[in-house]
Structure 1
């Protein structure tokens, strides 16, 4: 039972990093990224390839984040003229392209068989129980660190400039804000955090395959950010842990609802996720912790 709880805490932390990534791009700059699973997958495969070639864990994480940044810059460059629904469609297509490349390019990713034996530091020395405890603590500390950094960023002039772009990019441009540069920076930072989450997932699981990066992950993260509070980093973290708790709790539906099979349980879980999103949007459209926009600093008299 303890190992299961530690596993849930670790996955919750990884989802929290993904939620912070989405909140930075969507909640901060208004860039709707439906390809979050693609950046998640890029980070996982990048670190798996790097550490598989003999690089240590730290280098693997750096490589993953660098790959995420490059992908984020590329997507931003291709979608400069797109906004709202059009941007969402393009990013959704990008996420699927990443998954299909991982599925078909066997020479690089081993295709549908996936990549196994990924470096899992400390697993042999600590054992399964110790490894789970160490990773639950490590991922949680990393979530706190990233949250503190993004919270500080959110309260800085850079964060206020991002919100100006989110609300009205034309007006922000007229006010002298470098809209294009802000978009590049926001999307690149968001992609780096999402890739970091993917790298941690790969090393924790020691196995990845294209099935791990389905668009459904993006839906989970959108639910987390929406439930927690769009535009507020602490809300994104809270929403991520709530979503993981909800998903894990619904695994036991077969024991509660009589006469249903495992396949029906899986379908019912997905239906409950959709229903939860509708309820959140209806009851708490601004989330559990709504965004609090601080007043602009007063000009010196």
Structure 2
């Protein structure tokens, strides 16, 4: 039971990294990014390919983060010419383009067969509980660093400018400031975090296929930050943990209701998450960790 619990915490920690990246983009700047999984995919495949080539894992993470950030740059340029709702659609299309590319370029990514034999993170410890705990420790450390970096950004002039863009972009322009560069920078920062998360995912799972990077992953992250509290570091953590409880905890319901099939249970699971999301939006729109003095 303990190895299973540790495995769930590792996946949750990876999702927290994704949530922190999306919180930078939407929570601070108001960018509605429905293509976050595309950067996750870029980071995962970059880390996997470099890992198979014998590159040390810290470097695979850095290169994956850099490529994800570079991929976000043209998407950021597109965002300058589109309103929020149109940018959301374009970003969703971007993530699907990334998935189609990794599916089609079989010479590099093995297509739908996927990449196998990806070196395990902390593999010298074997494949038991000690290795999983080491991976979890590294992930917690990276999340803490990412959280501290986000906190520093929020309290800096750069962060205050991002919040001003989110609240009143036209007002920022009237003051002679250009929001364009700030939007591109924050999109690249969030993408880099997603790329690092992808590197952890690839090295932990050891096997990746394009179907692991569908838009549903992005919407899971959106659910986490909405439930936990948009723009909040603690909200990203709390929302992700609640999401994991719904996703994984529902698996044990079959012990109580054995007459429900696995297929039906998957539908019930998604329905429960959707219901929780609706209830939070109706009765707690600022999220679980949001300001309790406001509604």
TM-score normalised according to structure 2 size? 0.95
Q: Secondary structure at the match of 1:116?
A: coil
Counterpart of 1:46 in structure 2 is 46
Conserved? CA contact 2:246–2:269, under 8 Å? no
Give the CA RMSD over aligned residues.
Answer: 1.4
- 1:200 matched to 2:200? The reply is yes
Counterpart of 2:183 in structure 1 is 183
188-197 or 76-85: which moved more? 76-85
Distance 1:10 1:261 in 2: 27
Conserved? CA contact 1:103–1:112, under 8 Å? yes
Distance 1:267 1:149 in 2: 38
Distance 2:102 2:88 in 1: 22
CA deviation string 1:267-300 (max 9, x = no partner) = 21112221121111112101012269xxxxxxxx
Following superposition of structure 1 onto structure 2, how do residues 68-147 of structure 1 map, counting pairs within 5 Å? 68-147=68-147
Conserved? CA contact 2:122–2:135, under 8 Å? no
Q: CA deviation at 1:245?
A: 2.2
Conserved? CA contact 1:15–1:241, under 8 Å? no
Counterpart of 2:290 in structure 1 is 290
Counterpart of 2:252 in structure 1 is 252
Distance 2:284 2:177 in 1: 32
Q: CA deviation at 1:59?
A: 1.2
185-194 or 265-274: which moved more? 265-274
CA deviation string 1:231-286 (max 9, x = no partner) = 22221122112211221101122222242111111121112221121111112101
Distance 1:123 1:291 in 2: 43
CA deviation string 1:31-66 (max 9, x = no partner) = 000001111111000111122222111110111001
Consecutive unaligned residues of structure 1, counting only runs of 5 or more, are 293-301
CA deviation string 1:74-128 (max 9, x = no partner) = 1111232112210100001111111122222211211111101111133243432
253-262 or 269-278: which moved more? 253-262
Q: CA deviation at 1:135?
A: 0.7
Conserved? CA contact 1:31–1:83, under 8 Å? no
Distance 2:289 2:125 in 1: 41
- Misfit runs of 4+, over 4 Å: none
197-206 or 96-105: which moved more? 96-105
Give the 3 Å change call, closer, same or farther, for CA 52–147 of structure 1 in structure 2. same
Counterpart of 1:242 in structure 2 is 242
Counterpart of 1:148 in structure 2 is 148
Q: CA deviation at 1:138?
A: 1.1
Conserved? CA contact 1:224–1:240, under 8 Å? yes
Counterpart of 1:58 in structure 2 is 58
